[in-house]
């Protein structure tokens, strides 16, 4: 859940990249970190675990400031995909405000993707979060490889869930920013419903996204 300090007018949001091992969570984070201008992001940090690693960085290390003066900081995390690190995944999911599930598009990974998504549902429940209410997007990564599920089949399979689906090749950099922007947008909507960001703080959706991704000077 959102960390909100009303007295000091500060809010900290936590977005988590979840998915099976080697699906491309780390590559997404590395590419996203590269795509964001230096003044809008902090240092990339790594928490080592045996055989895997958790990465995170502050997207807005000096806070996004709403017209009302409310300061908002965004933290972006990955979780380790290895089964033996389930306790670490739970710890990272604590107080998550939005999740990007990174699936592997390869035909050979269908069962692993399903097991990992089921694991996400279970762990969200353990930490007291409702997957039906939590901002959530799904990215099918590794679209640059052969032997992958057709996009049409993926979209037909997921259509009934109403979860936004993105195709990506994190290694090549496409689909990464689109996935993250949609997650940020859904998270804004969730925050706005709870804290009236637009009416009480003057922070519209468009202004929120513009402050996250300012235009680079030409």
**Are 93 and 16 a contacting pair, CB within 8 Å?**
yes
Task: State pTM to two decimals.
Answer: 0.89
Domain positions in the chain: 3-212
Q: What pLDDT, in 10s, does the model give residues 26-78?
A: 889 888 878 776 656 677 766 655 555 555 545 545 578 899 999 998 888 88
Kindly report the average pLDDT of the chain as a whole number.
86
**CATH among 3.40.50.300, 1.20.1250.20, 1.10.1840.10, 2.30.40.10 for 3-212:** 3.40.50.300
Listed in sequence order, the residues at least 6 apart from 103 whose beta carbon sits closer than 8 Å to its beta carbon are 19, 20, 23, 109, 113, 116, 117, 138, 139, 140, 141
Of 185, 145, 152, 184, the residue nearest 168 (C-alpha): 145
């Amino acid at each position: 859940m959102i960390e909100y300090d009303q007295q000091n007018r500060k809010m900290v949001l936590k977005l988590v990249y979840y998915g099976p091992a080697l699906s491309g969570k780390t590559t997404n984070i590395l590419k996203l970190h590269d795509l964001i201008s230096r003044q809008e992001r902090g240092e990339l940090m790594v928490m080592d675990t045996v055989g895997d690693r958790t990465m995170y960085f502050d997207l807005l290390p000096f806070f996004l400031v709403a017209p009302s003066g409310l300061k908002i900081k965004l933290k972006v995390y990955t979780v380790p995909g290895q089964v033996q690190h389930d306790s670490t995944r739970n710890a990272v999911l604590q107080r998550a405000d939005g999740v990007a599930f990174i699936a592997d598009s390869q035909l050979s990974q269908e069962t692993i993707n399903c097991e990992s998504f089921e694991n996400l549902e279970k762990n969200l429940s353990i930490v007291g979060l409702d997957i039906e209410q939590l901002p959530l997007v799904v990215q099918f990564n590794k679209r640059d490889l052969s032997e992958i599920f057709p996009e049409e089949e993926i979209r037909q399979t997921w259509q009934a869930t109403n979860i936004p689906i993105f195709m990506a090749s994190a290694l090549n950099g496409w689909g990464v920013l689109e996935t993250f922007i949609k997650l940020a947008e859904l998270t804004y909507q969730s925050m706005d419903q709870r804290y009236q960001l637009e009416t009480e703080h003057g922070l519209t959706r468009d202004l929120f996204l513009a402050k996250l991704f300012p235009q680079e000077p030409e």
